[in-house]
Amino acid sequence: CQYCHEKIVGSILSSGKKFYHPRHFLCGGCNCPLNGKPFFEIEDQPYCVTCYNDQHGVKCAFCNEFITGEYITVLNKNWHPDHLRCCECNEPINSVIEEKDGKIYCHKDYQRLFGICCNKCNEPILSGGYITALDKPWHVDCFVCNICNKPFTESGFFEIDGFPYCEKHYEIASQCNFCKTKIVDNKKIKVGDLFYHPNHVFCTCCKKAIS
C-alpha cells in the first residue's frame, strides 16, 4: 500500500501505478476517503472532485460552475459551449466567435455592428464573396441594375449617384421622366426609380408642380 507501506491482502484500489488498501485510498488534498467515490488522478495521486476542481477545475465564466465536459476558451476565460453567448442577441454561439473590446459577439451581430454592409440592401456581408464597385461593397446578388435588378452583361454598367444601371435603364434614369430630355446638371429629383427636373415634378391628380 502506497499509504501505509503494508502488504495488501484482499481488495486493492489503484490510482495510476500506485496501489492502496481500500481504507487507505484517500484524497491527496483533504484526506477524505475515496473508496467507492469518483476521483481524479494527478501524477498517480487520487483527489476528490472538490480538491481536484479547486486546483485544476475549469469554471464557466457565465454560470460559475465547474465544467466537466468540453469547453471553449475565449478572452482568457472558459465557457460551457452553451454558455458562450453573443452580448447582442444572447444566443449561444456555435460557429464563428468574434471579440471586440472584451465583449463576445456572434458573427452576424459582429458584422452588423462592425463589419461591412452591402450598399444596396444594407445587410451585413458575411463570409463569402462580395463585389467592390463604385467604391462600395455589394453582395454578389445585389450588384445589379438599380431599376430592373438584373445582373450586368458584357456591356457593363453605368453609374448614377453611386448606383449602377444597365445600359437601357441608364438612358431612362439619366433623363427627366416628364420631358424626356437629359438631366445635365446634378439638380434632379428622384421619385421611385425615376428622375425629374426639379420643375418637372407634377402631382398626377391636380397637375400642380410639387416643389
148 binds Zn ion (CB under 5 A): yes
Binder among 124, 176, 188, 195 for Zn ion (CB under 5 A): 176
51 binds Zn ion (CB under 5 A): yes
Taking the complex as a whole, how short is the minimal distance between the CB of residue 154 and Zn ion, in angstroms? 15
In the stretch 98-137, what mask flags binding to Zn ion with x, by CB under 5 A?
Answer: --------x--x--------x-xx----------------
> CA–CA separation, 169 vs 159, rounded Å?
11
Residue 61 lies near Zn ion (rule: CB under 5 A): no
Measured distance CA(77)–CA(85) in Å, rounded:
13
Instruction: Tell whether residue 86 is a contact of Zn ion (CB under 5 A).
Output: yes
Contact 49, 39 (CB under 8 A): yes
Q: Following DSSP, what letter does each residue of 17-83 receive, concatenated?
A: TEEE-GGG-B-TTT--B-TTS-EEEETTEEEEHHHHHHHH--BBTTT-PBP-S--EEETTEEE-GGG
- Between the two ends of the chain, the Cα-to-Cα distance in Å is 100
Of 9-17, 33-41, 48-56, 155-163: span binding Zn ion (CB under 5 A): 48-56
Specify the 3-state DSSP secondary structure of 11. coil
Residue 48 interacting with Zn ion (CB under 5 A)? yes
C-alpha cell at 154: 458584357
Q: How far is the CB of 35 from Zn ion (least distance, A)?
A: 12
Region for 40 from its dihedrals, namely left if φ exceeds 0, alpha if ψ lies in -120 to 50, beta otherwise: beta
Interface contacts to Zn ion, rule CB under 5 A: 1, 3-4, 21, 24, 27, 29-30, 48, 51, 60, 62-63, 80, 83, 86, 88-89, 106, 109, 118, 120-121, 139, 142, 145, 147-148, 166, 169, 176, 178-179, 197, 200, 203, 205-206
